[in-house]
């Protein structure tokens, strides 16, 4: 390590709609929800990440919680900058960086526009980065899974996050074709909110819906290892009084069916536009699932049944993208061609 490197601190960031993760010195040092809480009167940040999430849906007039990203891209620039700055501070135990040089690799969705890309770069720079590199999420996910992306071999990666589902075919260090749809985990949550209101006459918040999805969510109405029914509390729409009901995975599988079908359609479309030589590869290698959505019970089996291809869920799917971003950062010389500076 040269003297110059000693002064350079390096972080790899997966700035997601739902979660922000940071790798520093080969370790995941930050893994927090992408949420910032502001004091409305002073506009000061009062919390970020998990502590801000606990305030969500429970705020009074003086506090607002903001999710800076929507559908995988920055929707609130100022909040995004506060989020990055706050998260980077967490790396350094709450203190600001005293190092003169901060190098950041940030991953971006593959369907991002130039303006959206600019917003990521600017946020990172305002938050203190001197050198910013961008890497496409499916590429980072592939590297994170351990796929040799430089090979002349096609691989299909599907990243189901909070805001977007990205489907990409990767070969020879590039994305050959991709489909990005704005249907992912957040849509599952709103499907559940609507279903519980319609079916059970109970109003629940997004946090509760997400909990239901994680506890009893399913992509198939019949599972080999079914989860137990789950008790849900919310507000009765008729009486206005808090009430408890129980929900089963079968009902949740039915209410998620439409959104999952949209994801399936996008996968079929991506397979359709894949060049034939790469189709032949994918027939052998199958499909890799990453992102939090990959954890939905039975989703791998459902996609397998639809495509008749082998489907693999990445190990620790919530961290595949940041792991790959971290590997790209560490081997910045070797992987420079994957990144945009």
Nearer to ligand ATP, 111 or 162 (CB): 162
Please, what is the minimum distance in Å from the beta carbon of residue 340 to Mg ion? Answer: 18
Size of residue set near ligand ATP by CB under 6 A: 22
* Per-residue DSSP letter, 128: T
Chosen from Mg ion, ligand ATP, none, partner binding at 10 (C-beta under 5 to 8 Å by type): none
Q: Could you give the CA distance from residue 333 to residue 261 in angstroms, rounded to a whole number?
A: 41
244 close to 231: Cβ distance less than 8 angstroms? yes
242 close to 236: Cβ distance less than 8 angstroms? yes
Nearer to Mg ion, 16 or 326 (CB): 16
Q: Does 16 bind Mg ion (CB under 5 A)?
A: yes
Q: Work out which of 161, 185, 234, 326 binds Mg ion, going by CB under 5 A.
A: 161
The answer to whether 212 is annotated as binding is yes
Q: Does 326 bind ligand ATP (CB under 6 A)?
A: no
Torsion of CA 260, 264, 269, 274, to 10 degrees: 130
Chosen from ligand ATP, Mg ion, none, partner binding at 86 (C-beta under 5 to 8 Å by type): none
Q: Does 178 bind ligand ATP (CB under 6 A)?
A: no
Q: Could you give the CA distance from residue 21 to residue 32 in angstroms, rounded to a whole number?
A: 7
Please, what is the minimum distance in Å from the beta carbon of residue 292 to Mg ion? Answer: 8
Chosen from ligand ATP, Mg ion, none, partner binding at 324 (C-beta under 5 to 8 Å by type): none
- β-bridge mates for residue 103, sequence order: 10, 131
Q: Could you give the CA distance from residue 187 to residue 209 in angstroms, rounded to a whole number?
A: 10
Q: Does 49 bind Mg ion (CB under 5 A)?
A: no
Give the residue from 233, 230, 306, 292 showing the smallest Cα distance to 263: 306
Residue 177 in tokens: 């074709």
Q: Could you give the CA distance from residue 10 to residue 156 in angstroms, rounded to a whole number?
A: 29
Q: Does 184 bind ligand ATP (CB under 6 A)?
A: yes
DSSP characters for 241-291? SEEEEEE-HHHHHHHHHHHHHHHHHHHHHHHHTS-HHHHHHHHHH-EEEES
Please, what is the minimum distance in Å from the beta carbon of residue 161 to Mg ion? Answer: 4
Q: Which stretch binds ligand ATP (CB under 6 A): 55-63, 90-98, 178-186, 236-244?
A: 178-186
Q: Does 292 bind Mg ion (CB under 5 A)?
A: no
Q: Does 324 bind ligand ATP (CB under 6 A)?
A: no
Please, what is the minimum distance in Å from the beta carbon of residue 270 to Mg ion? Answer: 17
Q: Which single residue is written with the structure tokens 């409305």?
A: 40
Q: Work out which of 49, 68, 154, 292 binds ligand ATP, going by CB under 6 A.
A: 292
The answer to whether 325 is annotated as binding is no
The answer to whether 294 is annotated as binding is yes
256-259, Cβ contacts within 8 angstroms, sequence gap of 24 or more: 256/188, 256/191, 256/192, 256/213, 256/217, 256/218, 256/219, 256/296, 258/191, 259/183, 259/187, 259/188, 259/191
Q: Work out which of 74, 295, 311, 314 binds ligand ATP, going by CB under 6 A.
A: 295
Residue nearest to Mg ion (CB): 161
Q: Could you give the CA distance from residue 271 to residue 158 in angstroms, rounded to a whole number?
A: 12
Binding site for ligand ATP (CB under 6 A): 16-19, 72, 161-164, 184-186, 210, 213-214, 217, 291-293, 295-296, 318
Give the binding site for Mg ion (CB under 5 A).
16, 161
Annotated binding site for ATP: 17-19, 162-164, 210-213, 292-295
């Amino acid at each position: 390590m040269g003297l110059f490197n000693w002064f350079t601190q390096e972080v790899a960031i997966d700035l997601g709609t739902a979660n922000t993760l940071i790798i520093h010195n080969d370790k995941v040092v930050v893994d927090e929800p992408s949420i910032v809480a502001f004091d409305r009167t002073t506009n000061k940040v009062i919390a970020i990440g998990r502590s801000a999430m606990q305030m969500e849906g429970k705020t009074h007039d003086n506090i607002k919680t903001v999710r800076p990203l929507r559908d995988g891209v920055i929707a609130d620039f100022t909040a995004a900058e506060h989020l990055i700055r706050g998260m980077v501070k967490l790396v350094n135990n709450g203190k600001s960086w005293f190092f003169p040089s901060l190098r950041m690799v940030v991953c971006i969705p593959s369907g991002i526009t130039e303006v959206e890309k600019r917003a990521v770069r600017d946020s990172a720079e305002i938050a203190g980065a001197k050198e910013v590199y961008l890497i496409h999420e499916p590429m980072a996910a592939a590297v994170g899974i351990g796929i040799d992306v430089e090979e002349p071999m096609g691989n299909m990666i599907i990243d189901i996050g909070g805001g977007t589902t990205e489907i990409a075919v990767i070969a020879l260090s590039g994305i050959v074709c991709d489909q990005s749809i704005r249907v992912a985990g957040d849509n599952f949550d709103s499907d559940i909110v609507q279903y519980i209101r319609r079916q059970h006459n109970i109003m629940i918040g997004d946090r509760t819906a997400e909990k239901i999805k994680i506890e009893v969510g399913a992509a198939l109405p019949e599972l080999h290892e079914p989860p137990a029914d789950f008790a849900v509390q919310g507000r009765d729409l008729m009486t206005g009084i808090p009430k408890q009901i129980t929900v089963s995975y079968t009902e949740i599988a039915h209410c998620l069916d439409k959104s999952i079908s949209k994801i399936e359609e996008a996968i079929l479309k991506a397979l359709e536009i894949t060049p034939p030589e790469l189709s032949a590869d994918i027939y052998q290698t199958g499909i890799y699932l990453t992102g939090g959505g990959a954890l939905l019970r039975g989703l791998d089996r459902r996609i397998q049944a639809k495509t008749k291809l082998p489907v693999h869920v990445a190990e620790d799917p919530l961290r595949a993208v940041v792991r790959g971003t971290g590997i790209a950062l560490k081997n910045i010389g070797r992987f420079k061609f994957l990144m945009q500076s």
